[in-house]
Structure formats: structure tokens, C-alpha cells
Structure 1
Amino acid sequence: MTIRYSSLKALPYIDKACIHSLDMSLYQLSVEIDGDEFYVTDDDDRMLRSLNLCQMQALLENLPVRATVLRQESAYDEMVGQAVRHGDNAMEIPLRVA
């Protein structure tokens, strides 16, 4: 599911904002509202992405976000020949937005 960035300002709260670290310097944003996760798009319905983590954090400054995390999924198990995991191996690091 997706939600437009412009509509986030009208929400009373956002439980969690998650900045996904997709590649070396590529970040994508999702938000969690009442237990549902939505990927954030621009007004043209394109996924909101950035090459700069600080720029992505700046987008969250004036939003009613309760918690912000950086999420990264590891490909380590695949790289060393480990068996495929049935669970999620995502790592979430709490971030502070000024």
C-alpha cells in the first residue's frame, strides 16, 4: 500500500517512519500507521527516494512521527552459503529527527 507525502501532514500521528537503506546510497521511505505499513510516494505516485539520508530525515522534521528508524536487510547469509531463513533478518536502528 502507498500514501502520498502531501497527505502525511494532515494525519494526527504517524506511529513509525522507516527509512529503508536499499543500496549504497539509496533510501526509500515508509510509514506505519495503526499497524499498517505504507510506502510514501510523491504527488505523481512515484516512490519517494533519495540518495542522501539527511535529506530523507529532513522530510520528516515537520511530521507528527513518534519514532524513526533506519532499516537495512542483510544479504550476508546468501553471500556465505547459509540456508535461506524463513524469518526476516532486517536490522532497525533508531534515528533522531531534529
Structure 2
Amino acid sequence: MKYYLSQLSPTQPIDQLTVLAHEMSLYLVKLSINGEEGILYAEDDRPMRFFNAMSIREAFSGFAVRESCMQHDTPYDEMIGNPQRPSSPVTLPFSIDTPY
């Protein structure tokens, strides 16, 4: 499923907001609303890219986000010749509230 920021309503709670952290300060957002998961897309129909955590917080200020986290999946083991780890991505707490 695709979500567009312009189509989301601040009155509709977001059950889960997951920040997908990639290398080089690139972040995508996965949302879960009413049991349906999907990636946040920009109006040009490409996944919406964020370049820092603060821009995600600003984009979702005013929205009711019940839970949020950040997932980071690192390719470093493969890059240095180690076998790929069978473990899932690292999941960390992520506060959607602005620190100021």
C-alpha cells in the first residue's frame, strides 16, 4: 500500500510509524494504519525520502502517532566478506516529538 502525506488526516491515528534507516542519511517511512502497512510516497509517486530525523518529526507534527521506532539494517558484514547475518534489522526507539 502507498500512503501520501497530503492524503493523511491528523484526526486519523497512525498505529505505527517506522523509520527505515539506510546508509548515507537516507530515511524512508513505513506506516501502519488500521492494520494496513505501506510506505510513505511523495507526490511524484516515489518513496518519500528524508535526510534527517528532524524532518520526519516536522512532517508528522500534529498527527496522532501511537507508536514509533527506527529500524536499521546494515550491510557491513556482506561488505567485508563475512556471511550475511540471519538476524532481523536492529529496531530502536524513535521519539516522534520534537526535542524543543
Q: Structure 1 pair 62/88, CA: closer, same or farther in 2 (3 Å)?
A: farther
Residue 44 of structure 2: aligned partner: 44
Map residues 1-98 of structure 1 onto 2, 5 A cutoff: 1-9=1-9, 12-79=12-79, 81=81, 83-84=83-84, 89-98=88-97
Q: Unpaired segments of 5 or more residues in structure 1?
A: none
Equivalent AA in structure 1 for residue 95 of structure 2? R
Listed one character per residue, the Cα deviations across residues 4-47 of structure 1 (whole Å, up to 9, x for unaligned) are: 11112256211111111111211111101233221011223221
Q: TM-score when scaled to structure 1?
A: 0.80
Give structure 1 regions of 4+ aligned residues with deviation exceeding 4 angstroms: 79-85
Please report the TM-score for the alignment, with normalisation by the length of structure 2: 0.78
Q: Label 1:84 to 1:97 Cα distance change in 2 as closer, same or farther (>3 A).
A: closer
> What root-mean-square deviation, in Å, do the aligned CA atoms of Structure 1 and Structure 2 show?
2.1
1:72 partner amino acid: H
Change (3 A) 1:90 1:9: same
- C-alpha distance after superposition, 1:58-87 (max 9, x if no partner): 1111112101111111224434655545x6
Percent identity of paired positions between Structure 1 and Structure 2? 27
Q: 1:91 to 1:35 in 2, by over 3 A?
A: farther
